[in-house]
Structure 1
């Protein structure tokens, strides 16, 4: 809206590439250590990590813990629709065969972010498109240098989150954005209104999470996200078995993956910067033309996931729900986070209870007897306390 699309895209491209190289470096050097740490995670640890992610949405919802938890709970509820992953019993299907397959979170994401934004923009149809300044595409060094520390921190978040099975770049981006909101005292603009920090943090983390997701895939045979799950399937087709022996028996394959990611990152920098003028012109398109085009592409994307018309209906329905949420001051990011983390939280809880033989006392005791679980529990507790009004008042008095 401020006509700075060129500068914004240029800076985020550079920082995204920077985050990618941080992730590749972690994959090449620290893969065994990170994989060993992930291997030590018990189901109860994944349960707490999932709950931790849900609780973090408080600050993603304009600082309202109640709104964040409510939106996250809605996402968990949506994510639980379908067949039970352990017993194959239908849940919240209401006798519908369409619902037994669950609700695609990609279709929901398109609806919540794409369609909902189209509906919001209908209120601003009278506003003329701002001409974008794309003269300065390559960001100046002083600007890159200013945001490098933030990009380095959020890239680290991206690598760690990406290495956690089932997490992926979406959660990494949300957590990085949350980190930026918490730590940046004087942003270039208010968050949500074009702050460069709000662009640098999620972009660097999102790209760093890609090599991070390769760490458990290559060393443990566990996909870090949906993309690496597909890659594992392709490797099995070719007779390759991802796991601890992969780097020993076929080390050249591991380094080939590292090289391919490095090459892809270089291409991202080249094509990202050279194509900025074309990308920036998109936002200059008149809204009466742009909004229907976005809606059409959203419908095509939702349908192409499973070639299922029902996904288009879900997309439209979630778009309306997302629009209502935005009108009442709720953010839709926590809903998607809840949809992604809900199944992980569900399966981890039940696996932890099975390992405790259904003994609630033993189940609760393991949270404090295990050092790793105790650390995660302490971090989770601090997250809850840090988002209360009491803590904010205490911080205000301390800083004063």
Structure 2
């Protein structure tokens, strides 16, 4: 009974309810503006609310957290510019849907299934937090390596028929991701003596340039004085049968998202990429090929990255370990209010745990309400003529890249990546594999080297891929996925279908 009372605190206390609502709405706006990250928003709130009551501060921060991750999909779908790194995978099919006049459907589907993913994450947080934390804490460096390699296998599906160009782009992305100080050895790599490169290339800046500024430059080639309202189809609200068809997929990728989110340092972007890959591997007969506006292509990454929030809160509340950058700020908030994050937190402050679960549930409810309520407002963005819209997006992109670190150098990097992305589009090089390499390259590098240094090298290193249950399962999944994407396997599969 006490657990239920603690859980219902945000629902029954009008002040907390309004704070969660305000935080969720503000988070959606922050997430929808490229460059204004969720981490930045939550960090700002921590500095503003440290003198507040603990419940009030955490309720507002949780609202911004859930709303911000979801809000990134708005810009990803409408203008092909991810509002957050975790929304990169949403651009793969979300923007093509918008170009085909299905922006309203894409926004509606991402809202509904973001809610599903968020609720699944909260349910697992409430019921299986200790179990998931035990699984997460047993992940070794080889397991992180296999997860990153699984993500890199998306290169084939993101290359749109130009596999060679996609592999080249991904390789270039990995090299860019390795620029800067070596986190293991302490040396510098690919810096050419430049002090500015010692901190590496901020992948958010790269995303803003490759997806945002490059799209602006590319569309400037074909400016039209006419509006774009004609491309919008009159889309009815999805039927229950239509939504139920995707429910099993959303539940599967949500569980995957929770597990990825619970891994320290993994983050929602990796959860979204793996969720997208899972959809591509398992969805039979999609309405369109993936990458050309498949419905499952927007549902899977959004369900996964919102579920990852619940996963990221698990190590925070059970082990005192941050699952991502935002939960690291939450640890600071708990310290400020005199609490010690760790295994004893749930026992000594059970009311706090269930209040946070209740606030997270409430944030997802408001996410659904606000997300559906403002669909028609967001959708007006793509009806604005390019002569007006493109300069506005350009200004937002410049401001967003500068706001990341208050550094003009990031603006120069963003512009550089914008021109790179423009020429890649002109010469039919896929941009997504380049971003994939920038995001996953550092994880491949550090996890491989740490795993190798933790073994005796050679055969012992290879043996490590089969001597632990989690590693063995991931190895089998990786090998199966790799084999299934080879041309020989595809030919055998086609012959089997004909027979």
TM-score between the two structures when normalised by the length of structure 2? 0.74
Contact 1:82 1:101 in 2 (8 A): yes
Offset, 1:122: 2.4
**Residue of structure 2 equivalent to 1:183:** 282
**Residue of structure 2 equivalent to 1:58:** 156
Distance in 1 between residues matched to 2:431 and 2:307, nearest whole Å: 23
Contact 1:5 1:132 in 2 (8 A): no
**Residue of structure 2 equivalent to 1:197:** 296
Contact 1:132 1:281 in 2 (8 A): no
Aligned length: 399
Distance in 1 between residues matched to 2:332 and 2:206, nearest whole Å: 25
Q: Which moved more, 1:340-349 or 1:278-287?
A: 340-349
Q: In 2 relative to 1, CA 346–356 (structure 1 residues): closer, same or farther, beyond 3 Å?
A: same
CA RMSD of aligned residues (A): 2.3
Offset, 1:314: 0.8
Q: Which moved more, 1:64-73 or 1:248-257?
A: 64-73
RCO (CA 8 Å, sep 6+): is it higher in 1 or 2? 1
**Are 1:91 and 2:194 matched, yes or no?**
no
Q: In 2 relative to 1, CA 96–237 (structure 1 residues): closer, same or farther, beyond 3 Å?
A: farther
Contact 1:147 1:197 in 2 (8 A): yes
**Residue of structure 1 equivalent to 2:178:** 80
Contact 1:138 1:273 in 2 (8 A): no
Which 4+ stretches in 1 moved above 6 angstroms?
A: none
Q: In 2 relative to 1, CA 66–224 (structure 1 residues): closer, same or farther, beyond 3 Å?
A: farther
Q: In 2 relative to 1, CA 261–290 (structure 1 residues): closer, same or farther, beyond 3 Å?
A: same
2:466 to 368, 385, 400: 368
**Are 1:145 and 2:218 matched, yes or no?**
no
Q: In 2 relative to 1, CA 370–203 (structure 1 residues): closer, same or farther, beyond 3 Å?
A: closer
Q: In 2 relative to 1, CA 239–69 (structure 1 residues): closer, same or farther, beyond 3 Å?
A: farther
**Residue of structure 1 equivalent to 2:206:** 108
Contact 1:137 1:276 in 2 (8 A): no
Q: In 2 relative to 1, CA 185–168 (structure 1 residues): closer, same or farther, beyond 3 Å?
A: same
Which whole-Å deviations, capped at 9, do the CAs of 1:164-222 have from their partners, x for residues lacking one? 22222222222222222333332233433333222222222221121122222322333
**Are 1:44 and 2:142 matched, yes or no?**
yes
Offset, 1:67: 4.1
1:203-242 to 2 correspondence within 5 Å?
203-242=302-341
Distance in 2 between residues matched to 1:286 and 1:42, nearest whole Å: 51
Which whole-Å deviations, capped at 9, do the CAs of 1:28-63 have from their partners, x for residues lacking one? 112222211111112222222222222233223226
2:112 to 5, 14, 17: 14
Contact 2:137 2:263 in 1 (8 A): no
Distance in 1 between residues matched to 2:176 and 2:447, nearest whole Å: 18
**Are 1:275 and 2:275 matched, yes or no?**
no
Which whole-Å deviations, capped at 9, do the CAs of 1:253-283 have from their partners, x for residues lacking one? 2222212211111111111111111111111
**Residue of structure 1 equivalent to 2:40:** none
Q: In 2 relative to 1, CA 258–75 (structure 1 residues): closer, same or farther, beyond 3 Å?
A: farther
Other structure's SS at 1:47 match? helix
Q: Which moved more, 1:266-275 or 1:168-177?
A: 168-177
Contact 1:60 1:333 in 2 (8 A): yes
Other structure's SS at 2:383 match? coil
TM-score between the two structures when normalised by the length of structure 1? 0.91
Q: Which moved more, 1:272-281 or 1:190-199?
A: 190-199
Q: In 2 relative to 1, CA 27–201 (structure 1 residues): closer, same or farther, beyond 3 Å?
A: same
Offset, 1:135: 6.6
Offset, 1:91: 1.7
Contact 1:18 1:204 in 2 (8 A): yes
Distance in 1 between residues matched to 2:447 and 2:295, nearest whole Å: 37
Offset, 1:298: 0.8
Contact 2:266 2:324 in 1 (8 A): yes
Distance in 2 between residues matched to 1:325 and 1:224, nearest whole Å: 34
Q: Which moved more, 1:104-113 or 1:203-212?
A: 203-212
Distance in 2 between residues matched to 1:195 and 1:55, nearest whole Å: 19
Q: In 2 relative to 1, CA 2–65 (structure 1 residues): closer, same or farther, beyond 3 Å?
A: closer
Q: In 2 relative to 1, CA 45–200 (structure 1 residues): closer, same or farther, beyond 3 Å?
A: closer
Unpaired runs of 5+ in structure 2?
1-98
Unpaired runs of 5+ in structure 1?
none
**Residue of structure 2 equivalent to 1:298:** 397
Which whole-Å deviations, capped at 9, do the CAs of 1:338-358 have from their partners, x for residues lacking one? 22222222222232233225x
Distance in 2 between residues matched to 1:340 and 1:361, nearest whole Å: 29
Which whole-Å deviations, capped at 9, do the CAs of 1:345-381 have from their partners, x for residues lacking one? 2222232233225x33322222223333222222222
2:121 to 23, 27, 31: 23
**Residue of structure 1 equivalent to 2:102:** 4
**Are 1:248 and 2:347 matched, yes or no?**
yes
